[in-house]
Amino acid sequence: MDNALNSDRLSKVVQYLEKETQTTLSVKSRQCHCSHHSNPDWVLQLDTWGQLEVMQQLLCQRPPDPPLPPDILENIDAVLEYHNQHTLLTSSSKISPHVAIHNPSSLQSIRLSLWKGDITTLTDVTAIVNAANSELLGCFRPEHRCIDNVIHSAAGPGLRDACSRLMLGQGHPEPTGSVKVTSGFNLPSQWVLHTVGPQLNARQSPERIHREQLAQCYRSCLDASERLPPLPDGKKVVVFCCISTGLFAFPPDEAAGIAVSTVVEWCREQPSPSITDVIFDVFLPTDWDMYNQRLDALQTLEFSSSAENIPRSLYFPAITKARNWLEEADYLIITGGAGLSAAIGLDYTSPQLFQKHFPAFQKLGLRRLYDVFGFNGWDSLQQKWGYYFLHLDMVRNWPTSTLYTKLYALANRFESSRYFIRTSNADGQFLAHGFPANRISTPQGQYRFLQCYAKCRPDAVFPSAPFVDAALSFIDPETQSLTDESKVPRCDFCGGELTLCVRGGDYFNPAPFRQQERKWAQFRGELSNISHNNSLNGGTETATVVILELGVGLNTPAVLRWPNERLVGQSPTRRYRLIRAGMGASGCAPWELEEDDLAVGFSGDLNAVMELIID
């Protein structure tokens, strides 16, 4: 490969794919006597994450024929390789086995393990299993977050091409319960086992044939794995996804039972198996519980079954760079978004969290904490404030976390005048973990205040805690609504209803947070003055500033994400460094900044990231 910048490679790929798409649409429009006009260069205006998403979407929809030009394929592989280098990987050797299955006629045993996470981020594995459809070409719908899409996106178009060649040679759809083997291409796994599970609909219960077909999927994959070469250390590790659940609608609990029992039966039947480890990979907490119970119920226990199976992720060069930047920094800026709260369990997208704390409100169609933002379908004010008071009480009593404790220890490496925190989160977790209030700016508001909804006057802002304390004993445990209307909070000045002092519309009163915003501006000004004075004095040494950006996605990028990029990219002295971490977009730094050695990005769980970059 040449030494072209990966940002340039990415731009060339998305531009080619978009032009190809528009050409196809243009041909179709002429055939149907309609017109279609678009400028394919619009993709060049997107940031790195936007271009990556466009590339994945267009590749997802693209058939294997006609083949991509060799130079475009080379660029795609280079882009995926670089992108995957920014994803935290977990070694199979770091996953604690639950049980060992012995064959009575053999001295060998096969270890069974359970892991929760993205199957494409497991390394030191022989093969991962893909729950494919009968065409075996992957899913062509970008909006589907199915395992087929996840695996094909990480592997690249070479995987679809390989599957296409297999299917053309076969000449018919892949039968249910069978398996095809391909290379893993850009995946950490050496091989992919594509198996077609039974497909049901949401109103259909599995019949005997469906159960047999699902069991056959597991047997076929294990049989195929026996014919694969072992890893360099002699192990042979196979990783199963949850076959046929999700879009294929097989009941997850029954599917978990079939998966475990079939694998155990196969292990006990083999006289001299070469497979050493089988890992069941799940994504949902409910699936974890189902598999965990079944594995714990097995009698041949040789290993402790740890509910806290969180293996340490692997190092890669960017980790070392981030650690060095933090150790050498003179100033520190910590910015935190919604992903930081999600990393400690306060996940606004989690249906499980909502169901646990707010079951009575599901009848209103609410399923996640995010669903309440802007919601106006309350049956009454008492119901509305029953929810809000319970929400505020849940947040203020949220348990302390190791993640914030690590951040606190990191901040304490610096004098208090040399660090600052700016967060879009209103949950007060920085304050709850001991950070001083005068070093925190919260431009989006805080739950610890209620404000007059009518903004009758600038100082119509009140601490929320007394209202919560007064109301909790008047909330019905079944309906979760207030039983006393007098506990609905009212403004002391105009008598109008109060609301959370959190940005959500024109009603928001930013007055309580302006002082800290001024301190944030003062902190930035001090950093600029240091650089300016050094320049006037002819000095060449400049203080370095590290921005540690955690869980900041694209919901409100103008608050934290884009200002951080401007601080780094527009600094004439190149004194700022950006460390961006989180899931998905939250972990993607602009590749142009990375190539200038001004930024690094990590895609992965923030708890694992902090464990690696903070001692």
Q: What is the pLDDT of residues 168-183, one digit of tens each?
A: 999 999 999 999 999 9
Which tokens sit at 409?
């220890």
Residue-level pLDDT at 246? 81
Quick check: 374 and 504 in contact, CB under 8 A?
yes
Using the predicted structure, report yes or no on whether residue 37 has a pLDDT greater than 60. no
Summarised one tens digit per residue, pLDDT across range 335-371 is 999 999 999 999 999 999 999 999 999 999 999 999 9
Structurally, what CATH architecture does the domain formed by 317-346+398-443+510-602 represent?
Answer: 3-Layer(aba) Sandwich (3.40)
Q: Which helix (H) or strand (E) holds 604?
A: none
Which tokens sit at 545?
């500033």
Strand order in the sheet with 419-423: 440-441, 419-423, 331-336, 545-550, 576-582, 599-603
Which tokens sit at 300?
């041949």
What mean pLDDT is predicted for residues 390-409?
Answer: 97
Cross-strand bridge partners of residue 490:
497
Summarised one tens digit per residue, pLDDT across range 247-289 is 778 999 999 999 999 999 999 888 889 999 999 999 888 899 9
Residue-level pLDDT at 104? 66
Using the predicted structure, report yes or no on whether residue 234 has a pLDDT greater than 50. yes
Quick check: 429 and 403 in contact, CB under 8 A?
no
**Helices and strands (H and E) in the chain: how many:** 19, 18
Quick check: 294 and 99 in contact, CB under 8 A?
no
Identity of the amino acid at 178: S
Cross-strand bridge partners of residue 451:
461, 499
Quick check: 343 and 404 in contact, CB under 8 A?
no
DSSP 8-state assignment for residue 235: -
User: β-strand 545-550 against 498-502: which pairing, if any?
Assistant: unpaired
Half-sphere exposure (Cβ direction) of 121: Cα atoms closer than 13 Å: 25
Burial (Cβ within 10 Å: 0-12, 13-18, ≥19) of residue 498 = buried
Quick check: 231 and 126 in contact, CB under 8 A?
yes
Q: What confidence category does residue 39 fall into, taking pLDDT thresholds of 50, 70 and 90?
A: low
What mean pLDDT is predicted for residues 427-431?
Answer: 97
Residue-level pLDDT at 32? 45
Nearest to 129 by CA among 228, 221, 2, 4: 221
Summarised one tens digit per residue, pLDDT across range 534-556 is 544 444 457 899 999 999 999 99
* Average pLDDT for the chain: 90
How many other β-carbons are positioned within 10 Å of the β-carbon of residue 521? 11
Which tokens sit at 386?
């029953």
Nearest to 130 by CA among 231, 223, 243: 243
SS3 label, residue 112: strand
Distance CA 72, CA 74 (A): 5
Q: Which helix (H) or strand (E) holds 533?
A: helix 514-536
Using the predicted structure, report yes or no on whether residue 533 has a pLDDT greater than 60. no
Burial (Cβ within 10 Å: 0-12, 13-18, ≥19) of residue 166 = middle
Distance CA 558, CA 585 (A): 14
Q: Please report, for the chain, the start and end positions of each structural domain, with discontinuous segments joined by +.
A: 6-84, 90-297, 317-346+398-443+510-602
DSSP 8-state assignment for residue 184: -
User: β-strand 331-336 against 191-196: which pairing, if any?
Assistant: unpaired
Using the predicted structure, report yes or no on whether residue 25 has a pLDDT greater than 70. no
Summarised one tens digit per residue, pLDDT across range 588-603 is 999 999 999 999 999 9
Summarised one tens digit per residue, pLDDT across range 400-417 is 999 999 999 999 999 999
Which tokens sit at 245?
């659940």
According to CATH, the topology of domain 90-297 is: Leucine Aminopeptidase, subunit E; domain 1 (3.40.220)
Residue-level pLDDT at 271? 83
Segments of 512-598 assigned E as strands: 545-550, 576-582
* Cis peptide, bond prior to residue 206, ω within 30 of zero: no
Using the predicted structure, report yes or no on whether residue 391 has a pLDDT greater than 80. yes
Higher pLDDT among residues 24 and 124, named by residue: 124
Summarised one tens digit per residue, pLDDT across range 142-159 is 888 889 999 999 999 999
Identity of the amino acid at 44: L
SS3 label, residue 234: coil
Residue 572 CB contacts under 8 Å (≥ 6 apart), including other chains: 531
